[in-house]
Amino acid sequence: MGFVELLLVSLGVSMDAFAVSLTKGLSMKKFSLKDALMVALFFGGFQALMPLIGWMLASRFSVYINGVGHWISFGLLSFIGGRMIYEACGNRGCPPEAGDRLCVKSLFILAVATSLDALAVGVSFAFLEVLIIPAVLLIGAVTGIISFAGVRVGNAFGGKLEKKAGIAGGLVLILIGLKIVLENMDII
């Protein structure tokens, strides 16, 4: 997997965090640099940690199913992407937090919830023999930047971008999964 594909995966898995960051920005009466950095750190950190955990778990058994690894990657990425699109099209709005302060416990739960798809991506990375350290650093950095921007945009413009971000992220993941299968079938 090249840098461009890895960057697209990073963008794809960070869309849930972006959508939640938008809602965090919406709940702030006034933009807070400290809170935006905290959201970016939590989401970026968990988005980096989860693929590492998935990769470590899958690396133990990838040797046994290496011939079908590209199908597993396609299935996982398509499932995650499809779920993101489904959730973006559904009515799953997050209730705003009371007041103007971030709750660390709530932020922790949201960071874990938005990074579960990255766990599955880490499993895919093991099958594709992706260099995991640069991959998780890129995913964490991209998610941190996008989450910070999400808080800022959410605070400035409202929740108009949440649905589009979820759909775009889901489509990117599905297309990358399809590309992996087509490459392994020597079609592209």
Q: What is the pLDDT of residues 29-41, one digit of tens each?
A: 788 899 999 999 9
Instruction: Examine residue 97 and state whether it is found in any structural domain, yes or no.
Output: no
Instruction: Examine residue 61 and state whether it is found in any structural domain, yes or no.
Output: yes
Instruction: Examine residue 154 and state whether it is found in any structural domain, yes or no.
Output: yes
- Given this model, what pLDDT does residue 62 score? 58
**Position 42, amino acid:** F
Instruction: Examine residue 162 and state whether it is found in any structural domain, yes or no.
Output: yes
Greater pLDDT, 139 or 87:
139
Q: How confident is the model at residue 96 (pLDDT cuts 50, 70, 90)?
A: very low
CA 52/CA 58 separation, integer angstroms: 10
CATH number at residue 166: 1.20.1250
Instruction: Examine residue 150 and state whether it is found in any structural domain, yes or no.
Output: yes
Number of domains, the chain = 1
Rg from Cα positions in the chain: 17
- Given this model, what pLDDT does residue 144 score? 97
Domain that holds residue 151: 3-92+104-184
CA 13/CA 118 separation, integer angstroms: 6
Q: Do residues 88 and 162 lie in contact, with contact meaning Cβ atoms separated by under 8 Å?
A: yes
CA 181/CA 188 separation, integer angstroms: 9
Instruction: Examine residue 151 and state whether it is found in any structural domain, yes or no.
Output: yes
CA 20/CA 66 separation, integer angstroms: 35
| Percent helix, percent strand, percent coil in the chain, to nearest 5 | 80, 0, 20
Instruction: Examine residue 77 and state whether it is found in any structural domain, yes or no.
Output: yes
CA 48/CA 143 separation, integer angstroms: 8
CA 108/CA 94 separation, integer angstroms: 15
Instruction: Examine residue 98 and state whether it is found in any structural domain, yes or no.
Output: no
pLDDT for 63 beyond 90: no
Q: Do residues 154 and 22 lie in contact, with contact meaning Cβ atoms separated by under 8 Å?
A: yes
